[in-house]
Amino acid sequence: MNIGDGTRAVRAGLPDPVKYEPTLPGPVFAAHYHLPGEPTGPYTYGRDENPTWTHLERAISELEAPGEPVETVVFASGMAAISAVAFSQLRAGDAMVLPDDGYQALPLLRERLEAYGVTVRTAPTAADAQLRVLEGARLLWIETPSNPGLDVCDIRRLVKEAHAAGALVAVDNTLATPLGQRPLELGADFSVASDTKGMTGHGDILLGHVTSGNPELAAGVRRWRKVVGAIPGPMEAWLAHRSLATLQLRVDRQCAGALILARALEARADVDGLRYPGLPGDPSYRIASQQMRRFGSVVSFVLPDREWAERFLDGLRLVDDATSFGGVRSTAERRGRWGGDAVPEGFIRFSVGAEDPEDLVADVLRALDEAAS
Ligand SMILES: *Cc1c(COP(=O)(O)O)cnc(C)c1O
């Protein structure tokens, strides 16, 4: 059936209706299931499978690749999902290519992989530079738009070259969400995300997922979850599924707000290095428009120095000074406070929530004016 994103989001993963049962069945809390006789699936032991995960996994699959026979495996966090792909696919002696400007825990992943004898090479996201270090790699890891720099690479092009070189491709789709970008349609082998961010959107749960159109690859990831036990709680999985119903509403509102904020910041002399992939003129705009359907909720920019940035963050009334992004309540932070990202001291990562854009812009412009004086 040809339906829109909003319709798909509200119905995604719902089981067939059963009289007297809720539309979305409640969380199933079970360490084990009643299992007389031969111990065969689908539900035997709680670390292996749970009906609440099954509903959520079907929902995410429908969003990641509508109408396609793909499989999703949900995890306790985004890092659990990322680790599952890397550690289920790589062996000692393999090589993996990572972005050097991606999520800040990727260097920790690198350290672990190297300790197990995997060679890791890095290159920037921009200008498809990872292609230059692809030779002989088994797995190419892409993060686009990259976090926090918001550079974009050409997924179709990287997939084509990687497959020709015998490498699998995984895309970290956290920032875009499946409504912003569908990596599997662009040829990737895995779409991976932290559902802690825009996917669930309320800043109250940690979760992650891996989706693949290749049943063998998906089975490897599922087996890894069983081995490591990085399983989501049923309550988190159910809350995530409930949250997906509003995904299109949230993402549309947040993307519209992000563009309005970016336009307002464009005019400011105290704002430098403004980035938003949906802003015509942004270095990411051309490729982003070819592969993204929505441009995300994150805007980044640079204020003159650290103290200036701190005054700005202190002055905001509608925006929490907090890390993470993609939530219905706007957040902003001075990214340099963590160390690890190669960003200037005054670099601000701003996540646009679902507030009225005119209220948000007024708050930001007032806080900027106060920070300047
Ligand atoms: C937050 C984030 C992760 C890690 O997800 P957790 O749910 O915190 O484990 C991975 N990739 C990106 C791009 C992220 O923003």
Phi then psi for 61, rounded to 5 degrees?
-60, -45
Residue 83 Cα to ligand 1 midpoint, Å, equals 11
* 77 close to ligand 1 (CB < 6 Angstrom): yes
Residue 79 Cα to ligand 1 midpoint, Å, equals 6
pLDDT of 237 > 70? The answer is: yes
Q: Which of 83, 146, 147 to mutate to test the pocket of ligand 1 (most atoms within 8 A of CB)?
A: 147
* 297 close to ligand 1 (CB < 6 Angstrom): no
Query: What's the whole-number mean pLDDT along residues 221-248?
Result: 98
40 near 48, Cβ under 8 Å? no
pLDDT of 1 > 70? The answer is: no
* 350 close to ligand 1 (CB < 6 Angstrom): no
pLDDT of 341 > 90? The answer is: no
The 10 Å Cβ neighbour count of residue 113 is 22
Q: Which amino acid is at 110?
A: R
DSSP class of residue 32? B
Instruction: Report the atom number in ligand 1 closest to the C-alpha of 81.
Output: 9
The backbone region for 135, taken as left when phi is positive above 0, alpha when psi lies in -120 to 50, beta otherwise, is: beta
Q: Which helix (H) or strand (E) holds 288?
A: helix 285-291
Instruction: Report the atom number in ligand 1 closest to the C-alpha of 206.
Output: 7
The partner residues of 351 in beta bridges, in order of sequence, read 298, 331
Query: What's the whole-number mean pLDDT along residues 91-114?
Result: 97
User: What pLDDT sits at residue 155?
Assistant: 98
94 near 141, Cβ under 8 Å? no
Q: Please state the pTM of the whole predicted model.
A: 0.97
Q: How confident is the model at residue 2 (pLDDT cuts 50, 70, 90)?
A: confident
Closest residue to atom 6 of ligand 1, CA basis: 78
Three-class SS state of 158 = helix
User: What pLDDT sits at residue 329?
Assistant: 98
- Maximum distance among all alpha carbons in the chain? 75
CATH C-level class of 5-244: alpha beta
Strands of the 139-143 sheet, one edge to the other: 71-75, 208-212, 190-194, 168-172, 139-143, 95-99, 119-123
Query: What's the whole-number mean pLDDT along residues 290-317?
Result: 98
Nearest-angstrom CA–CA distance, 183 and 137: 20
Nearest-angstrom CA–CA distance, 91 and 126: 28
Strands 208-212 and 190-194: antiparallel
Q: pLDDT tens, 5-31?
A: 999 999 999 999 999 999 999 999 999
Query: What's the whole-number mean pLDDT along residues 303-323?
Result: 97
User: What pLDDT sits at residue 328?
Assistant: 98
User: What pLDDT sits at residue 152?
Assistant: 98
* 174 close to ligand 1 (CB < 6 Angstrom): yes
Q: In the block, which residue shows the tokens 């030779």?
A: 135
Q: pLDDT tens, 152-211?
A: 999 999 999 999 999 999 999 999 999 999 999 999 999 999 999 999 999 999 999 999
User: What pLDDT sits at residue 320?
Assistant: 97
Query: What's the whole-number mean pLDDT along residues 49-55?
Result: 98
CATH C-level class of 248-372: alpha beta
186 near 180, Cβ under 8 Å? no
* 196 close to ligand 1 (CB < 6 Angstrom): yes
Query: What's the whole-number mean pLDDT along residues 232-243?
Result: 98
Residue 197 Cα to ligand 1 midpoint, Å, equals 8
Q: Which of 75, 77, 79, 349 to mutate to test the pocket of ligand 1 (most atoms within 8 A of CB)?
A: 79
* 206 close to ligand 1 (CB < 6 Angstrom): yes
Hey, where are the domains in the chain? 5-244, 248-372
Nearest-angstrom CA–CA distance, 73 and 232: 10
User: What pLDDT sits at residue 369?
Assistant: 98
Find how far residue 59's CA is from the centre of its chain. 16
Q: Which of 82, 152, 174 to mutate to test the pocket of ligand 1 (most atoms within 8 A of CB)?
A: 174
pLDDT of 362 > 70? The answer is: yes
**Angle between helix 357-372 and helix 247-266 axes, rounded to 10 deg:** 40
Instruction: Report the atom number in ligand 1 closest to the C-alpha of 325.
Output: 15
Residue 149 Cα to ligand 1 midpoint, Å, equals 15
Residues with Cβ within 8 Å of residue 369, at least 6 apart in sequence: none
Closest residue to atom 5 of ligand 1, CA basis: 78
* 75 close to ligand 1 (CB < 6 Angstrom): no
User: What pLDDT sits at residue 373?
Assistant: 85
Residue 104 Cα to ligand 1 midpoint, Å, equals 9
Q: In the block, which residue shows the tokens 């119905």?
A: 11
Instruction: Report the atom number in ligand 1 closest to the C-alpha of 208.
Output: 7
Q: Average pLDDT over the chain, rounded to whole?
A: 97
Residue 366 Cα to ligand 1 midpoint, Å, equals 31
Q: How confident is the model at residue 340 (pLDDT cuts 50, 70, 90)?
A: confident
Instruction: Report the atom number in ligand 1 closest to the C-alpha of 207.
Output: 7
Query: What's the whole-number mean pLDDT along residues 218-241?
Result: 98
Closest residue to atom 7 of ligand 1, CA basis: 78
